[in-house]
Amino acid sequence: MVSVIIINYNTFQLTCDCIRTVQSFTKDVAYEIVLVDNASTIDSPDDFLVQFPDIKLVKNPVNGGFAQGNNLGIAHSSGDIILLLNSDTLLHDDCISKAATFLQNAGNDIGVVSAHLTYNDGKYQHNARAFRSIRNELLDLFRPLLLLIPYRRRAKLMLNQYFKGDFDTNCDWVSGAFFMFRREALNALPDKQLDERFFMYGEDQLWCYQLACAGYKSYFLSDVRLIHIANASTEPAKQLKLLKTMINHELEIMRYRKGTSLYYYVFSLIFVTKERARYYIKVAVQKLFNYRIR
C-alpha cells in the first residue's frame, strides 16, 4: 500500500483540489491519504473531514515545517511505500500507481522515485537534479560551450536546467513535491527519519544525499506526470529573502558533504557570486520587460 502524505498550512482549497485528483485518478494501487495540518490559522482542519471522511487527519499543534510535518504523517501511516506529495500538486492520470509499480519492480538500490513536474502553463520544472560542485558551477558560467555537446550527453552530465525531462534517468536528487520511497529506506537515515534541520527548502536534496551515502539512488520517471503549481512570489523583496534562504541551505548542504575545506570556500565564492548576479539580472528583466525568468 502507498501512504500519501500531504502537508497543509493555510491552503485549504489547494489541498482539497490535490486530494480530489488523488482520489479521482489513483486506481491500480491500494493507498491511504494522511493529511497533516501544520497548525493552520485560517481554516479549521476538521473541514477536510467533511469533504473527505476517508482520509487520516493529523493535527500538528505547531507548524514545525515541511520535514517535521512529513515525519508526523509517516508516523501515522501504514503503507510499505511512502509518497510525500505537495498540497499544490494536481494529478491528471494514475501516476501514483505508475511510480509505485516501478519502485516495487526496481532493484533495492533505487531509494527515491520522482516525476515529471510542470507548471500550470505546461512548462517543465527542472526536477532531475545534480549535486552542486565547483566543476558544474564553472561549466554553467560558460554554458555556450556546453551547446557543443550532444543534448543527451549534455543532459546526463549537467541535469538541472540542461535536462528537458524527456527520458528516465538516475540523478543525484529530486523534488520533495513528489517524493516516493520504501518505508524501509528510513532506516538508512539519521535517527531513522527525515532530517528536520531545514524548516523549508533544501530538505529534499539533503535527504537524497543521506540516502546516497547509504547506497541508494534517486530516479526520475519521465512518463509519470503531474502539475506542481509552485506560485513563488514575484515581489523582489520576497524573492531576495527566498534567495538568501536557499543560498544558506545550499552552503549548509555543501558543508555537510565536504566539511569546511578549501573546496567548500572556493565553491562558496563561485556559487554565491553567480546566484546573486543571476538574481539581479532576473529583477532587471522583470522590471524592464515585465517578464519573469524562472
Claim to verify: residue 274 and residue 181 sit in the same structural domain: no
* DSSP H or E stretch at residue 33: strand 31-38
What pLDDT score was predicted for residue 230? 79
Grid cell digits, residue 132: 552542486
Alpha helices (runs of H) in the chain, residue ranges in sequence order? 12-25, 46-51, 66-75, 95-105, 134-141, 143-146, 151-158, 203-213, 236-258, 262-289
Structural domain contains residue 222 = yes
Q: Cβ distance 223 to 173 under 8 Å?
A: no
Domain boundary among 204, 228, 252: 228
Residues 102, 243: one domain? Answer: no
- Pair 212, 284 in one domain: no
Low-confidence ranges of the chain (pLDDT < 50): 233
The string of pLDDT tens digits covering residues 135-154 is 999 999 888 889 899 999 99
What stretches of 234-290 show up as alpha helix (H) in DSSP?
A: 236-258, 262-289
Q: Residue 79's domain is classified under what CATH number?
A: 3.90.550.10
Q: Nearest 5°: phi and psi at 87?
A: -70, -15
Closest CA to 21 of 99, 97, 89, 115: 89
Q: Is residue 93 part of a domain?
A: yes
How many helices (H) and strands (E) would you count in the chain? 10, 9
Q: Report pLDDT for 171.
A: 97
Residue 33 lies in a domain: yes
Total structural domains within the chain = 2
Residue 219 cell numbers, joined: 530516479
| pLDDT at residue number 186 | 97
Which pTM does this prediction carry? Answer: 0.93
The predicted pLDDT at position 277 comes to 81
Domain membership of residue 257 as a residue range: 236-289
In a domain, 148, yes or no: no
Distances (CA, A) of 162 to 153, 228, 253: 10, 20, 22
110-118 and 178-182 strand pairing: antiparallel
Q: Are residues 83 and 208 in the same domain?
A: yes
Asked if 224 and 240 sit in the same domain, the reply is: no
Residues 218 and 244 in one domain: no
107 and 197 in a single domain? The answer is yes
